[in-house]
């Protein structure tokens, strides 16, 4: 039996924030006659950055001015407000004017900020956003194809798009990212559509993580409006192989609170187009994961063309090609979740490994899925604006793996790869909850059959509601689908702990180094009656510089060991504490034997180390030898438990 990593963790629930509403002025004319428009807040390279992009009618020097909102004086920016110089260039002729962007760096966590763009004598109005804790759980929202203009009525499409953002963020105000599925607009260089897309003030309050769709690629407006971090604009990542042409492209990545996001220009998929095709994207993803994957707990890929969808594009030859080109690489690289758009329908795949269903026994609509080695979840989002819907199509006889579009053996009405397929002709969005050891993915209704719903209002579709219109529309905020993805941890078991920073003159503790896995290895059978494994706790550094010389203690307890539905009690774990490095008056706690020999083991909180009143100030290191004994009747598996560490001090 493999007993790999004992997880050491303190779960910390991190709260959200309330964003101050921004005024909806879309343009401002500055003192030097420059008109500023299209201001949008974008995602940065990490949680301490944001990118602001806008248009200017004049080629003048401009900046972003940023200040903590609390420092505003009667709404005015103080003289010491930080400024970030903007860069950019001339727009293409169909757009007119110039584009500007500035990267806001050095943001502090849990801080409300206000910003404005322009120059002295001509500023935009102020907008606000708030950072949250840079560690721990968080939510982000994923939006499929607003595609403003697709219905033929830009105003109706804009109304639906704005309403989805308002509904989603009213229900989830603490969400930290807005992630795009692509196709912001219907026609790449039609600025009236871009103006409508960028009109909602939520896009100036929450960071938009852009994705390029097939309707965005046909011009430079996408790149002009939506500057992205860490972007590789190599020729191979453009569909025509020419980044200087009148088209947009490139791939980019960023890390946000333990999630590595990689965003691909899926418009480039075949070398016959002129670019590097899917092979170039696979190479890019491989390089990014190799370089940065260890810095994150999860890897999420985002691109436009859904390879496991169920509507008009399900059988497209280009999507079949991607289905073959991408999936084995994504499984091998440990990708957890793939978010897609393009097909204007909601689908949630089974877990897919190497282009096939990972577990033939996974049931349709399962509420919990366990990734196993190489299992990847693929999600397609329906339209967030209601501008256009595609109806679900029927499987064919082309096969149930690889590029095939055959029927699911468990339900012949669905494609083999889809656990859930849904089309109601109502607006929806996808909420992703990033948690310590799971991703929760939900598809949520942001509208009903009533306006704003352009495709329904304009009779672009003949029915609306669940069951092809046979059932009444469900209310706004109701959940279409929900699944919890439990990631695969290999033969090891991860250790995680949230550690606060110790301020000068205070008591604090940290886990040394990178808090690597405490690997108990493979348990050894003893006397045919029990298994035994041993290891060493990662050293815990305690620092106490308080003048009070007050007593302190560090204790811990362990929960049950689990492997999916299998479990055994944490009481079977014992330890022998030790002072690894003397200081701060540290003394080792007493030894606790495995409960296998009688007693409660570490299932009850036990002292790792302590110091009495009047101890000297300084730093100490505490450690412990771990001893695990379990009955031989425990089922084979790779088990994980959480050791919760508690610090107490007067």
Supply the DSSP symbol for 406. Answer: B
State pLDDT tens for residues 111-127: 999 999 999 989 999 99
**Cβ atoms within 10 Å, residue 371:** 23
CA angle at 557 for the pair 565 and 434, rounded to the nearest 5°: 55
Distance CA 324, CA 215 (A): 24
**CB of 594 closer than 8 Å to CB of 629:** yes
State pLDDT tens for residues 82-141: 999 999 999 999 999 999 999 999 999 999 999 999 999 899 999 999 999 999 999 999
Tokens for 313, please give them: 């594009």
**Cβ atoms within 10 Å, residue 498:** 16
Distance CA 225, CA 101 (A): 9
Distance CA 399, CA 409 (A): 11
Supply the DSSP symbol for 568. Answer: E
Distance CA 448, CA 426 (A): 5
**Cβ atoms within 10 Å, residue 205:** 19
Distance CA 214, CA 342 (A): 8
Q: Classify residue 170 by burial, with Cβ atoms within 10 Å: 0-12, 13-18, 19+.
A: exposed
Phi and psi of 569, rounded to 5°? -70, 145
Please check the confidence at residue 18 and state whether its pLDDT lies above 80: no
Q: By 3-state DSSP, what share of the chain in percent is helix, strand and coil, each rounded to 5?
A: 15, 35, 50
**CB of 419 closer than 8 Å to CB of 364:** yes
pLDDT of residue 20: 32
pLDDT of residue 31: 45
In terms of CATH architecture, what is 507-649?
Sandwich (2.60)
Please check the confidence at residue 19 and state whether its pLDDT lies above 50: no
The residues, ordered by sequence, that sit 6+ positions from 645 with a Cβ below 8 Å of its Cβ are 8, 10, 497, 509, 540, 554, 555, 556, 608
Number of residues that make up the chain: 650
Specify the pairing of strand 208-209 against strand 177-180: parallel
Closest CA to 475 of 223, 224, 84, 167: 167
**CB of 421 closer than 8 Å to CB of 346:** yes
Torsion of CA 166, 170, 171, 173, to 10 degrees: 110
> Dihedral sign, CA of 70, 71, 76, 81?
negative
Closest CA to 289 of 301, 277, 279, 280: 301
Distance CA 49, CA 51 (A): 7
Give, for 139, the enclosing helix (H) or strand (E).
strand 138-143
> Comparing 135-436+459-486 with 507-649, is the CATH topology the same?
no
Query: Where residue 28 falls among pLDDT bands split at 50, 70, 90?
Result: low
Of residues 20 and 107, more confidently modeled: 107
Q: What is the mean pLDDT of residues 385-412?
A: 98
Distance CA 520, CA 644 (A): 18
pLDDT of residue 504: 54
CATH superfamily of the domain spanning 32-134? Purple acid phosphatase-like, N-terminal (2.60.40.380)
pLDDT of residue 350: 98
CATH superfamily of the domain spanning 135-436+459-486? Metallo-dependent phosphatases (3.60.21.10)
Give the start-to-end residue ranges of the domains of the chain: 32-134, 135-436+459-486, 507-649
**Cis peptide, bond prior to residue 452, ω within 30 of zero:** yes
Of residues 356 and 538, more confidently modeled: 356
């Amino acid at each position: 039996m493999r007993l790999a990593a004992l997880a050491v963790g303190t779960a910390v629930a991190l709260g959200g924030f309330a964003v101050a509403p921004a005024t909806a002025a879309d343009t401002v004319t500055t003192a030097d006659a420059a008109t500023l428009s299209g201001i949008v807040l974008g995602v940065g390279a990490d949680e301490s950055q944001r990118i602001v992009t806008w248009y200017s009618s004049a080629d003048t020097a401009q900046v972003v001015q940023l200040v903590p909102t609390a420092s505003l004086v009667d709404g005015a920016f103080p003289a010491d407000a930080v400024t970030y110089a903007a860069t950019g260039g001339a727009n293409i002729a169909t757009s007119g004017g110039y584009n500007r962007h500035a990267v806001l760096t050095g943001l502090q966590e849990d801080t409300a900020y206000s910003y404005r763009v322009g120059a002295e004598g001509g500023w935009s109005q102020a907008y606000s956003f708030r950072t949250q804790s840079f560690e721990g759980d968080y939510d982000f929202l994923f939006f499929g194809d607003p595609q403003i203009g697709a219905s033929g009525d830009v105003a109706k499409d804009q109304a639906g798009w704005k309403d989805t953002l308002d509904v989603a963020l009213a229900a989830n105000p603490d969400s930290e990212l807005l992630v795009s599925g692509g196709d912001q607009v219907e026609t790449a260089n039609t600025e009236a559509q871009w103006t409508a897309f960028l009109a909602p003030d939520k896009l100036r309050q929450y960071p938009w993580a852009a994705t390029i769709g097939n309707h965005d690629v046909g011009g430079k407006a996408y790149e002009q409006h939506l500057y992205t971090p860490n972007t590789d604009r190599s020729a191979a990542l453009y569909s025509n192989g020419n980044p200087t042409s009148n088209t947009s492209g490139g791939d980019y990545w960023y890390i946000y609170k333990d999630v590595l996001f990689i965003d691909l220009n899926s418009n480039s998929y075949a070398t016959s187009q002129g670019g590097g095709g899917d092979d170039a994207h696979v190479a890019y993803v491989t390089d990014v994961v190799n370089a940065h994957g260890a810095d994150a707990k999860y890897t999420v890929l985002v691109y436009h063309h859904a390879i496991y969808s169920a509507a008009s594009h399900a059988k497209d030859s280009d999507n079949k090609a991607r289905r073959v080109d991408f999936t084995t690489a994504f499984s091998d690289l440990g990708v957890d979740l793939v978010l897609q758009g393009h097909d204007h329908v909601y689908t949630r795949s089974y877990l897919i490994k190497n282009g096939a269903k990972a577990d033939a026994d996974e049931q349709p609509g399962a509420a919990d899925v366990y990734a196993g080695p190489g299992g990847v979840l693929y999600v397609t989002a329906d339209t967030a604006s209601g501008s256009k819907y595609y109806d679900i199509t029927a499987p064919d006889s082309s096969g149930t793996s690889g590029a095939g579009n055959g029927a699911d053996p468990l339900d012949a009405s669905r494609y083999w790869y889809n656990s859930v397929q849904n089309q109601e002709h109502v607006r929806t969005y996808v909420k992703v909850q990033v948690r310590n050891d799971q991703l929760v993915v939900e598809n949520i209704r942001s509208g009903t059959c009533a306006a704003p719903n352009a495709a329904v209002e304009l009779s672009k579709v003949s029915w609306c509601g669940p069951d092809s219109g046979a059932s009444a529309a469900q209310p706004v905020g109701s959940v279409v689908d929900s699944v919890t993805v439990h990631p695969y941890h290999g033969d090891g078991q991860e250790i995680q702990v949230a550690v606060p920073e110790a301020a000068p003159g205070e008591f604090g503790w940290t886990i040394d180094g990178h808090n690597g896995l405490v690997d108990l290895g493979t348990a050894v059978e003893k006397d045919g009656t029990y298994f035994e494994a041993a290891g060493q706790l990662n050293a815990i550094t305690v620092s106490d510089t308080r003048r009070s010389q007050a007593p302190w203690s560090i204790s811990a307890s362990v929960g049950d060991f689990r492997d999916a539905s299998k479990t055994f009690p944490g009481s079977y774990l014992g330890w022998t504490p030790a002072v690894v490095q003397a200081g701060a008056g540290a003394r080792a706690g007493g030894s606790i034997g495995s409960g296998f020999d009688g007693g409660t083991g570490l299932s009850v909180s036990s002292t790792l180390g302590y110091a009495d009143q009047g101890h000297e100030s300084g730093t100490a290191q505490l450690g412990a030898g771990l001893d695990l004994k379990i009955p031989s009747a425990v089922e084979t598996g790779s088990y994980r438990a959480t050791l919760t560490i508690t610090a107490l001090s007067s």
